[in-house]
Amino acid sequence: MSLSHRFLASLLALCIGVGQPISAQAQPAPAKHKGPAPPPQADALAAEAQKLKDLLKDPDAQAPAVQSALKEKWIKTECQAKKLKVGALADAKLAESVESACKDRWKNASVTEILQSSSADDVLAQERAAIFPADLDIPKNCDENSIAFEAKIAHTPPSGAPDPDASQKEAEKIKHMYLLNTGGSGGEIYTKDPVYIAYVNIHRYQISLTGVTTPIAASEIDWSQIFGGKAAQPATGKTAAPKISFNGVVEAPETPRPPSKSPDKDFQALNDCYSQLRPKVNSFKATLRAEENLLNGTGLQVYATLQNTQPFASTADEVRKNADPKQVFPEKEFPAFPLQDLSAVQDLLNQLVSDYNEIEDWAAKQPSSVQHQYQSNSNGAAALSKQLEQWISSATAPAAADSAGDKAGNKKPQAVAISQTVATLPRSISDPKTEAFDYEVLRLWLLYWRTRFEQVHIADDSQFVVSYKPACGGFFGAGTSTQMQLTTQDALNPPAAGTTPTAINIDKVVCQPTIAMSSGLGLSFLGSQTPAFVAGIKRDASGAPVLDASGNPTIVQTLGYSNQSSVEAGYALQANAYPLNFHNWDFELGWAVGAMLTASSGGATTDIITGPSFAFRRRTIFVTPAYDLGLRTQYVGGFKVGDPKGDLTSPPTQQVWKSGWAVTITFPFNTGTKEVNSSAGGNAQPTTPGKKNGTKSQTPAGD
């Protein structure tokens, strides 16, 4: 058999197969009741009619017998397809009339007319393709973009620990200071040394200690502003989010847009992109809920801890324990809101929405299944784009520092300035309109407090002690009184805008000069004797009394003393120097140098005195056991008490320096600090009562 004969046999076999009814092929048995054939059968017949039409064009099928057979089968198949399509919309009688009219129209038509004709499906397909733009910008890489928070990494606290040596030095240092009563008792402390308050919970409170020094009682003054400047207000305005662009400005097209050659394929590409983006957004929503719950819960716990923190603790270790970050913060970092990822996905969704709008007319002329898919996907893409736009537009504020790391290529999101928001716990993340903004506010609020807690937890003892060196009196002169004032800045209860923290008066620090003048009574133990001629018994060479005629001792004038005393009273004037401070406001030990005016045989004499000086009750009284050096009168050498007067006209005496002991009790010329107690003010109360005013500082427990 020749090649042409085999080809004709194949064509005839195909024609015989095509000519059989659809139901006669490998199809389920027809239903017994009459009714329109389902559209899928009509589509199958239309597809086979198109194949027959293509065979009519084949150069090897141009033989008249083949052309006639193909034409007959094409007419039968084409008209049967129309019958099934009409039957799906109308009754069977109308469908049969359409089939009959179709056969009559094509019965006498030539093959050329058949090839030049267009079936209804061909016209509809061309019309649909004509309004599906060929230059549609279909989003690319929809499967590559993701929305994700930064990888959860373990938070690394700052390295370091309290320095034991530094803490020990601080303990030794405050031994030489005085602890003030932070309760505002208004007592007085008598010292030249610095004063201090301890131990401050500095993660919440900022304490300032100042003093107003006057030579008299300090009066209340207006407190100058310590915490200057207004905190930066968080930005509230929202920058415009990326807008969805629908091909820019509409202009009259110069030429019609070319139709797509594969609209079904392009439409499927749009749907595939939407199918890839939708689960990413939904997955991010679930992750965001978990992160928001963590932030909300941690924020409440941190705020409750801060609320229960008082200004002062009893020890430095207690301050560090109060600021232990592990008690309130999770081990992981708080990831920043992934705005860059959201922006990248939103760009794809915006383009997707734009593309769906471009093909709206095309979709309206498609089968109902395509229309349903178009409506579902286009509305879903618009909803997702709106959600992302809401997140992005709400997360706008001045950039703030963020110590948390960031994954490579992901820009830092804009965040809020928290200088004004640290006082109160930010609102919980719940409002969809401000969700991203609230997320960043709370995240940075927690980041701020975590940093504060960590810094305090590893701080040395010196960080918790606030000291102040009051201005002391001069080397010589009147004393000074310094009214100490305490200012507490509470991070959770800041002063109202435009106001400054209120200072409260606490203790006064009274400081006397190094040298104090005093005068008073003195007692000298040098002894006082007044040489004179006194009656005495005459004695012989052996010392025996010489008797008169009556046998009585003979009375004669001899050398003696008209006045003799072992103690002399005098007026003392002395300078008391107190270079040392013994941390006792009722007692001081110094050294005194002065003079004491006493009576003598020649009149008044002045003794020089020096010795330790004991001051009591803030130098109200001075007691000085002194070394006494003074001039005294005694007999000239060779004469002694009991020697006869002889022809002397006056006792033979001379002035000599004698040394001994004396004691003085003196009083200051001017106490200089007789002042009323300051009144208590303010409401800052320490966790535990302060030590008694003026008591010697002790080494903190545990140091």
Tens of pLDDT, residues 551-569 = 788 787 888 787 777 888 8
Q: Are 571 and 597 in contact (CB under 8 A)?
A: yes
Categorize the per-residue pLDDT at 7 as very low, low, confident or very high, splitting at 50, 70 and 90.
Answer: very low
- Tokens (6 digits) for 239: 């920058």
Predicted local distance difference test score (pLDDT) of residue 549: 78
Residue 690 has a pLDDT of 36
| Contact (Cβ atoms closer than 8 angstroms) between residue 597 and residue 629 | no
Residue 399 in domain: no
607 within some domain: yes
Q: Higher-confidence residue: 408 or 448?
A: 448
pLDDT of residue 676: 37
Q: Which pLDDT belongs to residue 636?
A: 84
pLDDT exceeds 50 at position 5:
no
Residue 560 falls inside a structural domain: yes
Q: Which of 110, 126, 153 is at the close of a domain?
A: 110
What is the reported pTM? 0.55
Q: Which two tokens stand for residue 605?
A: 């004499």
What does the pLDDT look like over 678-694, one tens digit per residue? Answer: 333 333 333 333 333 44
Instruction: Identify the domain boundary among 60, 82, 110.
Output: 110
- DSSP letter, residue 477: S
β-bridge pairing 587-600 and 555-565? unpaired
Its domain, for residue 62, covers 40-110
Q: Mean pLDDT, to the nearest integer, of 101-126?
A: 74
Domain-located, residue 236: no
Q: What is the mean pLDDT of the segment spanning 72-85?
A: 86
Best-predicted range by mean pLDDT (224-238, 411-425, 442-456, 634-648): 442-456
* pLDDT exceeds 70 at position 582: no
Q: What is the mean pLDDT of residues 400-409?
A: 39
pLDDT score at 23: 35
Closest C-alpha to 263, from 350, 352, 366, 353:
366
Domain's final residue, options 87, 110, 133: 110
In a domain, 353, yes or no: no
Of 258 and 545, the one with more pLDDT: 545
What are the residues facing 521 on neighbouring strands? 571, 665
Containing 565, the helix (H) or strand (E) segment is: strand 555-565
Question: DSSP letter string over 519-543?
Answer: EEEEEE-S-EEEEEEEEEE-B-TTS
Q: Is the dihedral of CA 595, 597, 602, 603 positive or negative?
A: positive
Mean predicted confidence (pLDDT) in 115-126:
63
Q: Is the peptide bond before 205 cis (omega within 30 degrees of 0)?
A: no
Label the pairing between strands 178-179 and 195-197.
Answer: parallel
Range 292-306 average pLDDT: 88
Q: What is the dihedral of CA 232, 236, 239, 243, to 10 degrees?
A: 160
The pLDDT value recorded for residue 178 is: 72
Percent of the chain at pLDDT exceeding 90: 9
Six-digit token pair at 2? 């020749």
pLDDT over threshold 60, residue 71: yes
Mapped onto helix, strand or coil, the DSSP state of residue 158 is coil
- In the predicted model, is pLDDT for residue 130 greater than 70? no
Q: Is the pLDDT of residue 51 over 50?
A: yes
In this predicted model, which residue has the larger pLDDT, 506 or 473? 506
pLDDT score at 583? 57
Residue 321 counted as domain residue = no
The answer to the question of residue 318 being in a domain is: no
Task: Fill in the amino acid letter for 594.
Answer: G
Written as six digits, the tokens of 276 are 């890839």
* 487-511 pLDDT tens trace: 888 888 777 778 888 888 888 887 7
- 49 lies in a domain? yes
What pairing do the DSSP bridges indicate for beta strands 515-524 and 480-490?
unpaired
Least confident of 310-314, 375-379, 651-655: 651-655
Residue 129: both structure tokens together:
């393709």
Q: Comparing C-alpha atoms, which of 680, 157, 169 is closest to residue 458?
A: 157
Residue 236, Ramachandran bin (φ over 0: left; ψ between -120 and 50: alpha; else beta): alpha
Domains: count for the chain: 2
- Residue 35 CB neighbours (<10 A): 11
Structure confidence at residue 477 (pLDDT): 64
The answer to whether residue 231 scores a pLDDT higher than 60 is no
What SS3 state is found at 489? strand
Helix or strand or coil: residue 229? coil
Distance, C-alpha 223 to centroid of its chain: 28
User: Distance between CA 596 and CA 629 in Å, rounded?
Assistant: 10
What is the average per-residue pLDDT within 456-461? 86
Average pLDDT across the chain, whole number:
74
Task: Please check the confidence at residue 252 and state whether its pLDDT lies above 70.
Answer: no
| Confidence band, pLDDT 50/70/90 cuts, at residue 375 | very high
Residue 406 confidence class, pLDDT cut points 50, 70, 90 = very low
Higher pLDDT, 222 or 179: 179
